[in-house]
Amino acid sequence: MPLTLTYPGVYIEEIPSGVHTIIGVATSITAFVGRAPRGEVNTPITINSYADYERLYGGLSLQSKMSYAVSDFYLHGGSQAIIVRIANGGQRATIILPENLSPPSPPSSPSGPPFQALYMQAASVGTWGNFLTAQVDLPKTRQGTLDATVFNLTVKLWDATMTRVLLLERYLNISVDPNNPRYVTRVLLQQSNLVEVATTAGGKDQVPPLAPTEDTVWGGSGVDDNDVGDNDFIGPGTDTAKTGLYSLEKADLFNLLVIPPYPNAGTGGMDVGDQVRAAASKYCELRRAFYIIDSPSNWKSKQNALDNLDSYTGARSANSALFFPRLMEPNLLHDGQLEEFVASGAVAGLFAQTDAQRGVWKAPAGIEVAFAGNVQDFTVSLTDAENGELNPLGLNCLRFACGSSTSSDEWCGVRGRCRERTN
Are residues 184 and 197 in contact, defined by beta-carbon separation less than 8 angstroms?
yes
The structure's pTM equals 0.85
DSSP secondary structure string for all residues of 119-152: EEEESSSSGGGGGEEEEEE----TTS---TTEEE
Q: Which residues of the chain have pLDDT under 50?
A: 101-112, 142, 403-413, 415-423
What is the predicted pLDDT for the residue at 141? 64
For 149-176, what is each residue's pLDDT tens digit?
899 999 999 998 999 999 999 999 999 9
Residues 6+ apart with CB under 8 A from 305: 295, 299, 324, 390, 395
What is the predicted pLDDT for the residue at 404? 36
Provide the CATH number for the domain formed by 30-88+226-421 in this structure: 3.40.50.11780
Rounded (10°) angle between helices 65-75 and 50-57 = 160
- The CA-to-CA distance between both ends of the chain, in Å, stands at 36
- Angle formed at CA 165 by CA 164 and CA 166, multiple of 5 degrees: 110
Nearest to 290 by CA among 260, 312, 320: 320
What is the predicted pLDDT for the residue at 144? 59
Distances (CA, A) of 3 to 15, 346, 411: 11, 60, 60
What is the predicted pLDDT for the residue at 410? 45
What is the predicted pLDDT for the residue at 409? 41
User: Distance between CA atoms of 422 and 78, rounded to whole angstroms?
Assistant: 19
What is the predicted pLDDT for the residue at 231? 95
What is the predicted pLDDT for the residue at 416? 40
Residues 6+ apart with CB under 8 A from 282: 317
What is the predicted pLDDT for the residue at 384? 86
Q: What are the sequence ranges of the domains in the chain?
A: 30-88+226-421, 94-218
